[in-house]
């Protein structure tokens, strides 16, 4: 045997050994990545229903999640939304029998959306917010009657009804905060591949939550390195293995509808029955009953015997004057703490990013101010100022498909949002860019309902669960990469084994 052929044999054996080793390692890597990333496929799914009984309307949400992944983040999806036709349930206090028809359409749709086999194990929750909180303050027995009737109605459906109750303002704020951060994935930490241990460096700060409804508004966030001076505004959570000290407050009567009633109730005191109102567009007019203004608990302090039973609002459309009249609703003259929002309510120094949703989003969306890029305070003020200055006749022509009540109040609502954020919460031009107006995150509506259901179904564990350590794109890349290595090893091995002459010819 020639030295040449001996060398070739020796090299061939070594190359085959290397290729064999590479083949085995690639197979092991493929199996490791697959086993690490993939969990047992869910055999079934679960559903949940939450009814958001707000001050101006009720909305039914249906959620769905894989049964075997209840404690993973980001697996709960909103699959259906049904807006109940009519006002909030508090408006049915004197006609509770009408609630049967009121709830029928959306509950029947829930029957159709959720498979019959899942009906009996699908939990249903109804949470009432500021409208019912006000009714309870006004006439507690009427609020009880409404909840009793709602309970009877929902118990007649084949679902697992788990109660109708009035949420406190602090609960509403906290559940909204949970929803925002759950959907953004802020509670969980990324896991590093192979070590399968949480990477503390990748944990992210939570978002604050700004919620604006018809009757109340909430602000909730985690203040860093600050003491929450008022214990009633402090909430403590342990979520996914981390402790959170959360500040929250709900300002009852400072939702956009009740704030407007407060402003009008204050303005009619010094008139003869006609209000020249800068918060409505020029040329707009509306006749209202005095009793409709004073029927609200929020306007009791303004009650006065007036020489007329009806009054007329005439719009003059002036942003600066409108803002000045709104600012008078916020009492900032006294503060028993180191810092306050308004009405002597403690507010820590604002920190981090904020998600603003519900009426914040709907008003800003109409005004075309909900782009993904942060909107400056200056641009927002300029846009609302221009809108308020437009004649009512022009708005009616350009937005004829918008309900007149909503269209007529956008000037007030936009100005009120600016005033609340500026004067009420002390957002400055510098941190204005931290406000993000949110309608949905990953096709799920932002609000308190998802957080409420997650809490009641114990779907956010106190301790950190194991989750997939790789993103989907990384997982696919690694699988393709190791597969290509396997193919290359097999091809080269076959060439060396069957036609070594070709290999050695290329080597020469």
What is the average pLDDT value for the chain, to the nearest integer?
87
**More confident of the two residues 15 and 451:** 451
- CATH 3.30.420.40 residue ranges of the chain are 44-166
383 is in an annotated binding site: no
Question: Is the predicted pLDDT of residue 256 greater than 90, yes or no?
Answer: yes
pLDDT, residue 16, reads 63
- Of the listed 170, 172, 229, 373, which one is catalytic? 172
Q: pLDDT grade, residue 468 (50/70/90)? A: low
Of 192, 198, 179, whose CA–CA distance to 439 is shortest?
Answer: 179
Q: What are phi and psi of 59, to 5 degrees?
A: -130, 135
> What is the model's pLDDT at position 357?
97
Evaluate if residue 331 carries a pLDDT over 90: yes
- Tell me: is residue 122 an annotated ligand-binding position: no
**414 is known to lie in a ligand binding site:** no
Q: Mean per-residue pLDDT for 300-311?
A: 88
Q: Where exactly does CATH 3.30.420.150 map onto the chain?
A: 169-447
Residue 214, marked binder? yes
171 is catalytic: no
Q: Which CATH class is domain 169-447?
A: alpha beta
Rounded to the nearest 10°, the torsion over CA 261, 263, 264, 270 is 150
Strands (DSSP E) contained in 85-241 are 123-128, 160-166, 208-212, 216-221, 234-239
Element (H, E) at 145: helix 140-155
CA distances from 259 to 58, 87, 233, 362, 409 (A): 20, 18, 22, 17, 12
What is the mean predicted confidence (pLDDT) over 39-50? 74
Helix (H, G, I), strand (E, B) or coil at 484: helix
pLDDT at 44 (0 to 100): 75
Q: Residues near 488 by Cβ (< 8 Å), separated by ≥ 6? A: none
- 466 pLDDT higher than 60: no
pLDDT of amino acid 28: 74
**Residue 215 pLDDT more than 70?**
yes
* C-alpha dist (Å) from residue 341 to 27, 69, 420, 425: 61, 41, 10, 5
pLDDT at 508: 47
Backbone angles phi, psi at 278, to 5 degrees: -70, -10
The answer to whether residues 341 and 219 touch, using CB atoms and an 8 Å cutoff, is yes
Q: Which residues contact 131 (CB under 8 A, 6 or more apart)?
A: 53, 54, 55, 56, 88, 89, 90, 91, 214, 215
3-state secondary structure 241-291: CEEEEEEEEEEECCCHHHHHHHHHHHHHHHCCCEEEECCCCCCCEEEEEHH
Give 373's pLDDT tier (boundaries 50, 70, 90).
Answer: confident
Higher pLDDT, 204 or 119: 119
CATH of region 44-166: 3.30.420.40
Residue 190, Cα to own-chain centre: how many angstroms? 22
Give the residue among 135, 106, 170, 27 at the shortest CA–CA distance from 490.
27
Q: Is 389 annotated as a binding residue?
A: no
């Amino acid at each position: 045997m020639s030295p040449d052929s001996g060398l070739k044999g020796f090299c061939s054996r070594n190359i085959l050994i290397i290729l064999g080793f590479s083949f085995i390692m690639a197979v092991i890597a493929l199996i490791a990545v697959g086993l690490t990333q993939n969990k047992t496929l869910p055999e079934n799914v679960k559903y949940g229903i939450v009814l958001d009984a707000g001050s101006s309307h009720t909305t039914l949400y249906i959620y769905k999640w894989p049964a075997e992944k209840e404690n993973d983040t980001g697996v709960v999806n909103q699959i259906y939304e049904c807006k109940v036709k009519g006002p909030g349930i508090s408006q049915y206090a004197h006609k509770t029998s009408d609630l049967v028809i009121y709830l029928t359409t959306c509950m029947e749709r829930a029957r159709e959306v959720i498979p019959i086999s899942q009906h009996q194990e699908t939990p249903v929750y109804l949470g009432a917010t500021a409208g019912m909180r006000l009714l309870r303050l006004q006439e507690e027995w009427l609020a009880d009657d409404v909840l009793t009737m709602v309970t009877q109605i929902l118990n007649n459906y084949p679902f697992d009804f788990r109660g109708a109750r009035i949420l406190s303002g602090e609960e509403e704020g906290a559940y909204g905060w949970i929803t925002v951060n759950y959907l953004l994935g802020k509670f969980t930490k990324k896991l590093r591949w192979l070590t399968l241990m949480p990477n503390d460096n990748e944990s992210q700060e939570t978002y604050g939550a700004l919620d604006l409804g018809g009757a109340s508004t909430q602000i909730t966030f985690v203040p860093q390195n600050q003491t929450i001076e008022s214990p009633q505004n402090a909430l403590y959570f342990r979520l996914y293995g981390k402790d959170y000290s959360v500040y929250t407050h709900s300002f009852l009567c400072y939702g956009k509808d009740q704030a407007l009633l407060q402003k009008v109730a204050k303005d009619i005191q010094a008139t003869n029955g006609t209000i020249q109102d800068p918060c409505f567009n020029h040329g707009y007019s509306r006749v209202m009953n005095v009793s409709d203004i004073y029927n609200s608990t929020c306007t009791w302090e303004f009650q006065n015997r007036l020489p007329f039973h009806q009054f007329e609002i005439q719009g003059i459309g002036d942003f600066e004057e409108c803002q000045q009249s709104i600012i008078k609703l916020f009492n900032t003259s006294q503060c028993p703490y180191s810092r306050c929002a308004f009405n002597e309510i403690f507010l820590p120094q604002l920190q981090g990013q904020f998600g603003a949703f519900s009426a914040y989003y709907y008003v800003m969306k109409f005004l075309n101010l909900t782009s993904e890029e942060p909107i400056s305070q200056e641009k927002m003020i300029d846009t609302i100022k221009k809108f308020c200055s437009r004649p009512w006749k022009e708005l009616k022509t350009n937005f004829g498909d918008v309900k007149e009540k909503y269209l007529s109040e956008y000037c007030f609502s936009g100005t009120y949002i600016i005033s609340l954020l500026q004067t009420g919460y002390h957002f400055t031009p510098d941190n204005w860019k931290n406000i993000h107006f949110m309608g949905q995150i990953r096709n799920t509506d932002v609000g308190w309902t998802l957080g409420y259901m997650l809490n009641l179904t114990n779907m956010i564990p106190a301790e950190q669960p194991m989750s997939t350590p790789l993103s989907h794109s990384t997982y696919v890349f690694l699988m393709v990469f190791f597969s290509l290595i396997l193919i290359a090893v097999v091809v080269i091995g076959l060439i060396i084994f069957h036609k070594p002459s070709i290999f050695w010819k290329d080597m020469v």
